[in-house]
Structure 1
Amino acid sequence: MGLLEDKARARTFYRFLSTIYDRINPYVWTEAMRADALAELDFEAEDRVLDVGCGTGFGTAGLLDHVETVHALDQSAHQLEHAYEKFGRRGPVQFSRGDAERLPYAADSFDVVWSSGSIEYWPDPVAALEEFRRVTRPGGQVLVVGPNAPSSRVLRKLADAIMFFYDEREADRMFEAAGFEAIEHVTMGPSYRPNVAITTVARVPDE
């Protein structure tokens, strides 16, 4: 397990990172990447959408271009404070503080669940994906953006010592273990690192 795949350490990390997050994030997770990821989803304006690990709200803002309201959850109070400054505490975004592995929502609550830049900190990704499946209606979509594993064995070891990196094969394993179907992957990134991220889209089976 990587250094930041511990919830307490991750919260401490984001206590400091939250003060500069919006300045450094565009170098890794760009608006073009967000647009490409959003294009993988089928939206209706009235869809019920959840953003897990919303951080300061970069993904949330993109979701609001497609739907009227978004539920957004993060475990970091410091990240959420910056999100409140952008969207307000009450408005088109309904915020909650919570854990991806124990989502505070009823079964079948959402049409779409989105998570970008969060999976790398989850101690148990399959448990979180099972929660995503639980709160998403049958036939609904789930999208997760995470860090693509480096091809170099040395870089992979260094990366894994910090947080969770994975490839398409591992993504297939996790999503299948969590009970998803129609699993597809797209790699993306800024021009200088076009494969830095892996985006996985899957559906909850129709019952």
Structure 2
Amino acid sequence: MEAIKMSSGLAEVISSLKAVSDEEWDAYILRLDMFYRHYTKEMCRNIISRAKEAGRKKAYEASREGEEIDHLVKRNSLKVSVVEDKEFIMPDSINFAEYHDNNIRISRRLLRSLDINKAVISKELGDFEPSHVLFYHELYHYYEDVEENFENAGISFKIKPVPFITKTISPDSAGEIAAYEFAKQMQKIQFHPYILGIIGLYEYNRDAAEKIMKDIMMRS
């Protein structure tokens, strides 16, 4: 797939993002894993498959309960806030939202960017509430935190980071892939939620957005 320059109009950028399959987005997220170079192709397929299944299963369970976001927040004693980037635990990273210790923080910068461009986004992606998508992604991480054997989709396996040393790891990427799938299912959207972060980057750091797009599309 040919990489698109982020200097293009936003509608064209979103159209290009939509053309990236869920499999390609998930593969990109997996490549960010610190142990990725130790994974075989079979292990990669297994991680993605099991993570997506975990996200779908949790969404099914949550949907059956039929609770509104306000009720979920209250029942689970969550604190949800919209914050500046500097307030994130890792402020120098490209953060869109984060969960930590019953706190869900959502990027004010990202929500502002999405709101400014809501007409174009709605036309290209349909009607949805971006903050709800981000909330459900982080809610999944809350479930990882409190439910037994649920972190990183319950996946663990052995690798050899160096010869003669075997290490049991649980890939963080599995938790991210599962959380994106959970959010997608809960909001019944037809696009990969990671797209929202790229749209936000397009507004304030086009070099970073273009770098991500190039990495994804060069491997498509």
Is the structural similarity TM-score above 0.5?
A: no
Higher relative contact order (CA 8 A, sep 6+): 2
Larger proportion of strand: 1
Larger proportion of helix: 2
Shorter-chain TM-score tier: under 0.3
- Provide TM-score, normalisation by structure 1: 0.26
